Structure 1
Amino acid sequence: MTTLLGAAIGGALAVCAVPFALTTAGFTATGIAVSSVAAKMMSAAAIANGGGVAAGGLVATLQSIGAAGLSTSSN
């Protein structure tokens, strides 16, 4: 019973923490925030890919989640 309760609490915290972490990193509903960790990640990805950010990559996926309104900035 204690393990199940711990798992439920951990899951609830994760659901709340992920949107906060994305917004804090700069992945917002309105796009990547200027001078954020997300902007630095996007820059590094673009340099590595010859000037563009690859679809389906980490940066694109995180921004899609932020733009979908799953980040705290959209609330």
Structure 2
Amino acid sequence: MTAPNSAERKACWEARDHLWKCLDDNDEKAASCQKFQSEFEANCPAQWVKYFTKRRHFLKYKDKMKRENFIPAAGPEQPS
């Protein structure tokens, strides 16, 4: 696989952004955004699709933890 050129990267990122906006606007209902999902998969290398999908899940999880005022557990005590 050759690396995407500048125009291909831009098309991929735009397709990703359109999909993510659609998902945000439709309460994460993938069925409502199938057109954008197809464009995303067509414009991005498969490995990028996998990466961006995981990244979106992580960012949503991180945002949820922030909204819910998550406080991480204290780590183990370190001996002095």
- TM tier relative to shorter chain: 0.3 to 0.5
TM-score by length of 1: 0.33
Q: Which has the larger radius of gyration?
A: 2
Q: Compute the TM-score of the two structures, normalised by the length of structure 2.
A: 0.32
Instruction: Identify, as 1 or 2, the structure richer in strand.
Output: 1
- Where relative contact order (Cα < 8 A, 6+ residues apart) is larger, the structure is 1
